[in-house]
């Protein structure tokens, strides 16, 4: 009885708080009132992890976005390239390799992303990286995990590695956003039928400071990250399938260079999963 009264009192306080103190949308900046008929973030994640990506986005981002921005999300949808993951303009047909991937082979075996880098997803990635909204790593990490469950066979992957930052950039920002996105994955794995895949945030390192890739063309991006990465212990990845994690996939230069480094040290396969990808 006491537990029921406590829960009822908690709900009354929450309703009062939400009605008096509206939330500020992290995308558009407007104040909004959260809908009480859909408890923000209270649905157990194992009940929604296999839902469509746009549904997962809505559920995990409800506490942070107004209703308008919640609908401003573009998931990656079929048909898309089975290699680079880019969506085709035509909405008919099956997934298949695009012409660019047929002509220009990449070292990454398959690249997937949760959504397109625009709208509310872009705004929240910026808020996480540049405005120190580190609490967004949890819901965005859940969105990314849902994409992982959608696109990959967990039993075939041996290690998960975030794309590393150079130590100077890490000190400046205070965190690696790619690593932050997967920090809670061990807990999420425990809520599924799959084993917990080891997460290694140290073996792949950025040994050379590079310029920001923002604003650089594809050729300059490739030159910028050339020979920028190193593997500390190649014995751990020999013959293994490594899944690289990044926040945004643009031209693929950074991930390709990471894959080249990992494969040169014995990795058998390198795949990529990003939170967002450019059109």
Distance CA 46, CA 132 (A): 28
pLDDT in tens, 8-38: 666 665 555 555 568 899 999 999 887 654 4
Q: How many CB atoms lie within 10 A of CB 36?
A: 12
CB-CB contact of 104 with 256 (8 Å): no
Distance CA 112, CA 132 (A): 26
Would you state the torsion angle of the CA atoms of residues 73, 77, 81, 83, taken in this order, to the nearest 10 degrees? 70
Q: Is the pLDDT of residue 2 over 90?
A: no
**Of 197, 105, 101, nearest in space to 148 by CA:** 197
Position 239 in a domain: yes
On the question of a cis peptide bond just before residue 79, with omega within 30 degrees of 0, the verdict is yes
- At 27 the pLDDT is 94
Query: What number is the average pLDDT over the span 68-88?
Result: 96
Structure tokens, 209: 């400071």
Position 201 in a domain: yes
CB-CB contact of 61 with 120 (8 Å): yes
pLDDT in tens, 233-256: 999 999 999 999 999 999 999 999
Structure tokens, 175: 């965190």
We report the CATH number of the domain holding residue 269 as: 3.40.50
Distance CA 104, CA 106 (A): 6
Q: What is the DSSP letter of 172?
A: H
Q: What is the DSSP letter of 136?
A: G
CB-CB contact of 48 with 139 (8 Å): no
Domain of 132 in residue numbering reads as 35-277
Structure tokens, 272: 């990529």
Q: What is the 3-state secondary structure (H, E, C) of 98-121?
A: CHHHHHCCCCCCCEEEEEECCHHH
**Of 233, 50, 237, nearest in space to 157 by CA:** 237
Going across the sheet that includes 269-277, the strands are: 111-116, 269-277, 241-249, 159-162
Distance CA 221, CA 176 (A): 20
Would you state the torsion angle of the CA atoms of residues 211, 217, 218, 223, taken in this order, to the nearest 10 degrees? -40
Average pLDDT, the chain: 90
Query: What number is the average pLDDT over the span 137-165?
Result: 96
Q: Is the pLDDT of residue 165 over 80?
A: yes
Domains contained in the chain, number = 1
Position 17 in a domain: no
Distance CA 150, CA 112 (A): 10
Structure tokens, 134: 């580190």
More confident residue, 33 or 223: 223
Position 30 in a domain: no
Show the DSSP H helices in the chain as ranges: 2-20, 53-61, 67-70, 99-103, 119-130, 137-151, 167-173, 177-181, 185-190, 218-224, 253-264
Query: What number is the average pLDDT over the span 131-138?
Result: 96
């Amino acid at each position: 009885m006491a537990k029921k009264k406590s829960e009822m009192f908690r709900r009354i306080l929450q309703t009062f708080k939400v009605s008096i103190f509206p939330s500020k949308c992290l995308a558009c900046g407007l104040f909004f009132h959260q809908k009480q008929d859909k408890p923000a973030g209270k649905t157990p994640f194992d009940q929604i992890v296999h839902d469509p990506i746009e549904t997962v986005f809505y559920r995990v981002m409800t506490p942070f976005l107004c209703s308008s921005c919640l609908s401003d999300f573009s998931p990656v949808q079929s048909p898309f390239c089975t290699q680079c993951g880019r969506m085709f303009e035509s909405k008919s047909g099956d997934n298949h390799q695009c012409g660019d991937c047929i002509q220009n082979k990449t070292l990454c075996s398959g690249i997937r992303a949760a959504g397109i880098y625009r709208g509310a997803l872009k705004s929240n990635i910026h808020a996480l990286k540049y405005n120190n909204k580190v609490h967004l790593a949890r819901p965005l990490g859940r969105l990314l995990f849902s994409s992982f469950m959608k696109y990959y066979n967990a039993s075939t992957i041996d290690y998960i590695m975030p794309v590393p930052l150079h130590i100077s950039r890490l000190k400046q920002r205070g965190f690696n956003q790619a690593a932050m996105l997967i920090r809670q994955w061990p807990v999420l794995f425990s809520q599924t039928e799959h084993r917990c895949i080891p997460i290694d945030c140290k073996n792949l390192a950025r040994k050379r400071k590079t310029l920001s890739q923002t604003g650089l063309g594809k050729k300059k991006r490739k030159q910028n990250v050339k020979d920028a990465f190193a593997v500390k212990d190649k014995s751990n990845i020999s013959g293994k399938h490594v899944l690289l994690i990044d926040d945004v996939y643009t031209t693929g230069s950074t991930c390709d260079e990471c894959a080249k480094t990992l494969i040169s040290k014995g990795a058998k396969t390198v795949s990529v999963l990003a939170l967002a990808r450019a059109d």
